[in-house]
Structure 1
Amino acid sequence: MEKTNTAHTNIARQAPFRIATLLAVVSTGVAAAQTNNPTLLPDVIVEGRDDTLVGIASTASEGAVGQPQLLERPLTKPAEILETIPGVIVTQHSGGGKANQYFLRGFNLDHGTDFATSLNGMPINMPSHGHGQGYSDLNFLIPELTYRVNYRKGVYHADQGDFSSAGAADIEYYDRLPQSIARIEGGSYGYGRALFASSPEAGPGNLLYALETSHYDGPWTNPDDYQKFNGVVGYSQGDQALGFSIKFLGYHGRWNSTDQIAERALDIPGFSRFDNLNPTDAGNSQRYSLIGEWHRVSDTAATKLVAYGSYYDMDLWSDFTYFLTSPQGDQFEQLDERWLGGLNASHTIFSEIASHPVENTFGLQLRTDDIHNGLFQSVQRSRADKLDYDGNPIPATTREDAIVQASLAPYFMNKVQWAEKFRTTAGLRADFYHFDVESDNPLNSGSESDAIVSPKAGLVLGPWADTEFYLNGGLGFHSNDGRGVTARVDPATGAAIDSADPLVRTYGAEFGVRTSGIRDLHSSVALWWLDIDSELLFIGDAGATEASRPSRRYGVEFANYYLLNDWLSMDADLSFSNARFRDSDPSGRHIPGSIETAITTGFTIRNLRNFFGGLHLRYFGPRPLIEDNTVRSSETLLLSSEIGYRFSKVWSLSAEVLNVLDRRDNEIEYYYASRLAGEPVGSADGGYLDRHFHSVSPVSLRVALTARF
């Protein structure tokens, strides 16, 4: 059982649904393995971005990205492999080890809410997380182990549940590497990285192991000193028909944080874009996971089981408002420690009704998180009681909670090929949630249960001239933080508050076109719409709930992948979104931080007389920062390049130049009230409304020496 990087496999168009299901079943453990069963279909090997899904896909906005395109483009952080997904933007507003901030389809997704990520079927998003709901930390990823990224968008897939209303991505690791890898890197601003990975034969199967360590200071006056240690050990056995794999992953990181700074701080003599307003902000995190996968495929059925368990721990110190609340400073600590486990199981039956191919999938997803988290006041990373400016006490512990959160979700998917050029999809998903919270304040303790049912439907017309048309609609949801679900009082003030909604409804629809009508050009266009009900959200930085208004988002995505010749490919993705609140309010209807324009384009060179590399441009357009749209962010335009040369079958040398144009743009911007040290009382809650930003890094160079053997 293996995943190897070989040529594209031709797909039999006469059985599109069965092919799609077989790909899903074998994707986390099998590819191109030899088998004596002639009825089994081989896996699709994705070398670039596989938009050649005409005759297979259920929507215009789904796809897959293969390892060559993932690796032969500059990456400043592991999560940037998600930027190969059309419309996705990945940023950072703090230290390098903190989860990134994600943008897609009119959303500022914060650290992952409404975008579900998983690794080999193990969910990465953290519900009821100490920093934010749906927290998705991808810093433990090793890009060289990534075989493929499968992505889907919208609420049209019954096997996708919580956090997936905007989209979902499953990152697949190899079971067997094409070659062993030894790599050492060094570069600007204290960057260094070393990696060794191999997958030798071990008995009837294959052993996989990888070790990675890295360090990065960044351009900051107070160096990030981000130190990361990463390891993977796995074993796999079998083939497409029957096989299993097991992987253990371990990650530990610690870092200093230069959080976003107030723009007016640049007026302080000697203060630069790379300075900080609290040099003691920092964090550390660790995650240890075990993933097991088993599958069996025949010409009448396909079964897949994924079981996983993780231990996770994070301690984070942040300060976004400086001296707004207390003369001792506004730094706070967020803690999250948890054990989690779950199961994803699916069984698909292939049959016919009146000569029409039919596919019925029955699935079940289980997950339980046992969580201890807390929110504390701190001074220089030490928990401390404080006083506000009126002399009132601010206790060191804002709140501390023990949470057990469990979910169960059976689902059903049906696919029917009614005619040569007409097929339908339908699905039904039921999610059951239970929250049990034991808080340090008994008034915020309690138990709550909720359930929600989400139907899905879609139809596909075509292909004509390698072109298909899609229409999809469905209902989805996202969960809320368990602490908010049982909250009755504000832990800071003691005032009565309303509890958050456990599960919040989302509604979506999409019309799209996918074509491969022009040779070697794969394009798709999707027009989409998504509504979210009003809700009460739990705010992790405050420990209390806050009302959120009903919203509507709609837009268009245009994705293109063009194989110009056997050594040069081009991708060009354009995404335009409109996001508004649906109700009336004097403050305005724009949604702060909502992405409006995202453009990514570039060229990738695979093997031109032993040269390889790429040139990639990312445009992150201006966004409203407040509801009336009178304050908007600036644009971010980043151009990065890589050039490399293979000296032999083993050795290669490459260089990356990041931010080639040396632009002084901002990775992210916010607009809110803060107070700097020494400032008098201001008119905005005692502070001053201002832009707060985190700068992109200046132009930098990274060099890598790689051996593949």
Structure 2
Amino acid sequence: MQVLQYWLPASLWAVSAYAFATGVPVMQEVVVTGARAGMVGTADSATEGAITAKQLATRPLLRASEVMEAVPGMIVTQHSGDGKANQYFLRGFNLDHGSDFATSLMGMPVNVASHGHGQGYMDLNFLIPELVANVRYRKGVYAADDGDFTTTGSARIDYQRQLPAPFADLTAGPHGFRRVLAAGSGSIDGMQLLGAFEAARNNGPWDQPEHLRKTNAVLRLSSGTAHNGYAISALAYKSEWDATEHVPERAIERGEIGRFGALSGHDGGVTHRYSLSGEWERSNALGASKASAYVIDYGLNLFSAPSGFMNGPQGDQHEQEDQRLTWGGQVSQAWYLDDTELTLGLQLRQDRIDSVGLYDTVARVRTNTVRQDRITDTAAGLFIQARTQWRPWLRTTAGLRYDRIHADVTAAAGQFNLTNGGSVHAGQASPKLGVVFGPFGPQARTELYANWGTGFHSNDVRGATSVMNPADGSSTEKLGLFSKARGAEAGLRTTVLPGWSSSLSVWHMDLGSELVFVGDEGVTEARGASTRHGIEWSNYYAPNAWLIIDGDIAWSQARFKQAVEGGGTDIPNAIPLTASLGIGVDYGGPWFGGLRMRYLGAYALEETGAHKSSPFYTANLKLGYRIAPRVQFSADILNLFDRKANDIEYWGGACTRNEQANGECNGGIDGRLIHPLEPRTLRVNLRVAF
């Protein structure tokens, strides 16, 4: 598959040059619509698509962020409390909490740069699935308007501007799960005002109750449509919780704790996200103008003890703090010329971080400051893209993007941190190119795609300014601001039968360095260059208005280019095989529902591949009944077959309380660290519309 990275760029440029030399037909404006794979004639790659509210309506969800599992191949898990950002996996990447997949909501970025816990931290717990209008996703680094954190792809989530009718949802389940959601919209002087309020609490199945308390509110004023109109949105979210972290599997096997037990108490956190944003767009036969702006007040205090009692009988708990104000926006202008849609855009973002720190704690009380910094991080991106229809059977997309990051880091506290800090700046140009052949065949149902491009994920700016390890004072080497990614992809998309769309792709990705900010230690690790390749097959079948069937399978291989210390080239937690199958039924009568199944193959837990996770599958079921036109009852059965598998598995050092007391630790005991799947759970919901 490595031939893709060399053959595709040259071939794409050659095809473009040939087409330019042999004539130009008239290009028509293209509006990208459709669901999942059904985008023949509009898509620029085989691995982009749109997820609609209709698809999500019958989807059973354990967590709000599982909306992202509608993206083919995406896996969403959790290894801690439900107030913490989830763990994401895609295309042979352990995305950690989002470092290589960029997500935005109504034009606002969700990923957080230079975050206290991990670079690109993507907390989607504030998402309200019932308000989602659509999710537009892309894979790879082939779109010029995609910037930081888009190594594996991106997703743009939009909320609805108006609802069919106001409604109230009441949901209850075991372990103290309660959720109330009220939402509605109305017209004011020709504008639409939408409001929603959510409150939830949950203890979970854990021996140590989670005590999750979440409040969430949305207020959105809009006029017109997404393509001709504007919207102003205010969001407010706050959550607090106690967490059961991943634990050594041996502690469960020896009976020191139960399957849903914790090594120690007092882990958890509190977070908030308050935002104000605006979007505006005007389009006509000549072109389209877009502008958006946002300001976000974000905070997190996260308390964790992932290594248990490795460093002493009081435990290894630490606090990661992040308090910041983020503002930014973007403007773009598209011109619809005779044969080409030409787009020019500018994006700007600044994070004003008042405090980002790492502290040793006991029972959430600070005992030592490892490091504390103040940061001003400014990122700007300029892009241009030309989408040209050369022939009825040939179109190309060529783009160029330039990103620039400038950061000022001030070391505020920490015995070994005060020599760190300073100013740093860097830039990167990222060319993109894609060719589409088709549509071909009977009724023009098939297209072939070839894409190539470069992109990046940024490094935490503290890694680019630090010369000393804040934990022990040892010297460290400054790292670059950009980890460059180069990708190539070839694929096809076809409408097999009316209502059945299918896409197949083969892809390759090289990453200059697996730069990872380790929030638990306050340092950045450069884990070496890596290479990945894989195959994806995605299907979407809607034979009529009331039935939707979708199925995906993705295989990938992820390797370091050189063996790491200790031997081995496997990239830990890179899932090689995933599959999913879903059915949604709603024929407009009293009954409706959906069934979702997913499979995760075994993955390497450490670089030699000697230790692997256990493969497993899960299933979730939703079954609903409309008691009256405005009253409906539904039940979600999560983990339908009560699989006793693990949501996540790691390999690393930790110590239990007994091991510490018996003097067995000696710097930690390596072993399997697990966080179990939640057991079979029934949640019932009553919705009343007004």
- TM-score category, normalised to shorter length: over 0.9
- C-alpha change, 1:193 and 1:483, in structure 2 (3 Å) is same
- C-alpha change, 1:193 and 1:417, in structure 2 (3 Å) is same
Matching residue of 1:421 = 393
Instruction: Please give the residue correspondences for 1:265-414 in structure 2 after superposition, counting only pairs within 5 Å.
Output: 265-269=251-255, 271-352=257-338, 357-371=339-353, 372-384=355-367, 396-414=368-386
Q: How far 1:189 sits from its partner (Å)?
A: 1.6
Question: How far apart are the structure 1 equivalents of 2:291 and 2:121?
Answer: 25
Q: Are 1:674 and 2:654 matched, yes or no? A: yes
Question: How far apart are the structure 1 equivalents of 2:26 and 2:618?
Answer: 43
Q: How far 1:284 sits from its partner (Å)?
A: 0.7
Q: Are 1:18 and 2:29 matched, yes or no? A: yes
- C-alpha change, 1:662 and 1:453, in structure 2 (3 Å) is same
Amino acid at match of 2:29: R
- C-alpha change, 1:273 and 1:218, in structure 2 (3 Å) is same
Matching residue of 2:492 = 513
Matching residue of 1:392 = none
Q: Deviations over 1:221-268 (max 9, x none)?
A: 011111110000111113467421100000000000000010110134
Question: How far apart are the structure 1 equivalents of 2:643 and 2:493?
Answer: 36
Q: Are 1:636 and 2:616 matched, yes or no? A: yes
> Which SS does the other structure have where 1:524 is aligned?
strand
Question: How far apart are the structure 1 equivalents of 2:683 and 2:277?
Answer: 33
Matching residue of 1:112 = 98
8 Å CA contact retained: 1:243, 1:296:
yes
Q: Are 1:704 and 2:685 matched, yes or no? A: yes
8 Å CA contact retained: 1:241, 1:298:
no
- C-alpha change, 1:242 and 1:562, in structure 2 (3 Å) is closer
Q: How far 1:442 sits from its partner (Å)?
A: 3.1
Identity, in percent, stands at 43
Q: How far 1:626 sits from its partner (Å)?
A: 0.8
Instruction: Please give the residue correspondences for 1:572-611 in structure 2 after superposition, counting only pairs within 5 Å.
Output: 572-585=551-564, 586-607=566-587, 609-611=589-591
Matching residue of 2:406 = 434
Question: How far apart are the structure 2 equivalents of 1:83 and 1:534?
Answer: 27
> Which SS does the other structure have where 1:336 is aligned?
strand
Point out the more displaced range, 680-689 or 474-483. 680-689
8 Å CA contact retained: 1:417, 1:423:
yes
Matching residue of 1:10 = none
Q: How far 1:297 sits from its partner (Å)?
A: 0.8
Point out the more displaced range, 234-243 or 118-127. 234-243
Q: How far 1:696 sits from its partner (Å)?
A: 0.6
Q: Deviations over 1:116-168 (max 9, x none)?
A: 01001111000000000000000001111100000001010010010001010
> Which SS does the other structure have where 2:488 is aligned?
strand
- C-alpha change, 1:174 and 1:580, in structure 2 (3 Å) is same
Q: Are 1:616 and 2:596 matched, yes or no? A: yes
Which runs of no fewer than 5 residues in structure 1 stay unpaired? Answer: 1-13, 24-43, 385-395
Question: How far apart are the structure 2 equivalents of 1:615 and 1:344?
Answer: 39
- C-alpha change, 1:17 and 1:369, in structure 2 (3 Å) is farther
Amino acid at match of 1:383: R
Question: How far apart are the structure 2 equivalents of 1:707 and 1:661?
Answer: 30
Question: How far apart are the structure 2 equivalents of 1:252 and 1:306?
Answer: 24
Instruction: Please give the residue correspondences for 1:33-182 in structure 2 after superposition, counting only pairs within 5 Å.
Output: 44=33, 49-182=35-168
8 Å CA contact retained: 1:106, 1:577:
yes
| Cα RMSD (Å) | 1.6
Question: How far apart are the structure 2 equivalents of 1:238 and 1:666?
Answer: 46
Q: Are 1:188 and 2:174 matched, yes or no? A: yes
- C-alpha change, 1:535 and 1:631, in structure 2 (3 Å) is closer
Question: How far apart are the structure 1 equivalents of 2:181 and 2:452?
Answer: 44
Q: How far 1:270 sits from its partner (Å)?
A: 6.2
Question: How far apart are the structure 2 equivalents of 1:223 and 1:603?
Answer: 34
Q: How far 1:279 sits from its partner (Å)?
A: 1.4
Q: Are 1:658 and 2:638 matched, yes or no? A: yes
Normalising by the residue count of structure 1, what TM-score does the alignment of the two structures yield? 0.90
Question: How far apart are the structure 2 equivalents of 1:478 and 1:699?
Answer: 38
> Which SS does the other structure have where 1:19 is aligned?
coil
How many residues matched? 656
8 Å CA contact retained: 1:497, 1:545:
no
> Which SS does the other structure have where 2:251 is aligned?
helix
8 Å CA contact retained: 1:499, 1:536:
no
Matching residue of 1:544 = 523
Amino acid at match of 1:695: P
Instruction: Please give the residue correspondences for 1:441-520 in structure 2 after superposition, counting only pairs within 5 Å.
Output: 441-465=417-441, 466-520=445-499
> Which SS does the other structure have where 1:516 is aligned?
strand
8 Å CA contact retained: 1:161, 1:476:
yes
Q: How far 1:584 sits from its partner (Å)?
A: 3.5
8 Å CA contact retained: 2:460, 2:524:
no
Q: Deviations over 1:559-618 (max 9, x none)?
A: 001113332221111011100111234510100111111111021111263210011101
Amino acid at match of 1:514: R
Q: How far 1:686 sits from its partner (Å)?
A: 2.2
Amino acid at match of 1:18: E
Normalising by the residue count of structure 2, what TM-score does the alignment of the two structures yield? 0.93
Q: How far 1:537 sits from its partner (Å)?
A: 3.8
Q: Deviations over 1:50-88 (max 9, x none)?
A: 422100000000000001211211101111001011000
8 Å CA contact retained: 1:500, 1:535:
no
Matching residue of 2:22 = none
Question: How far apart are the structure 2 equivalents of 1:426 and 1:568?
Answer: 38
Question: How far apart are the structure 2 equivalents of 1:486 and 1:587?
Answer: 30
Q: Deviations over 1:80-108 (max 9, x none)?
A: 00101100000000001100000000001
Amino acid at match of 2:686: L
- C-alpha change, 1:433 and 1:331, in structure 2 (3 Å) is same
Question: How far apart are the structure 2 equivalents of 1:492 and 1:242?
Answer: 53
Question: How far apart are the structure 1 equivalents of 2:116 and 2:226?
Answer: 40
Matching residue of 1:199 = 185
Point out the more displaced range, 539-548 or 153-162. 539-548
8 Å CA contact retained: 1:498, 1:545:
no
Q: Deviations over 1:15-63 (max 9, x none)?
A: 887223xx5xxxxxxxxxxxxxxxxxxxx4x5xx342210000000000
Amino acid at match of 2:343: T
Q: How far 1:534 sits from its partner (Å)?
A: 2.6
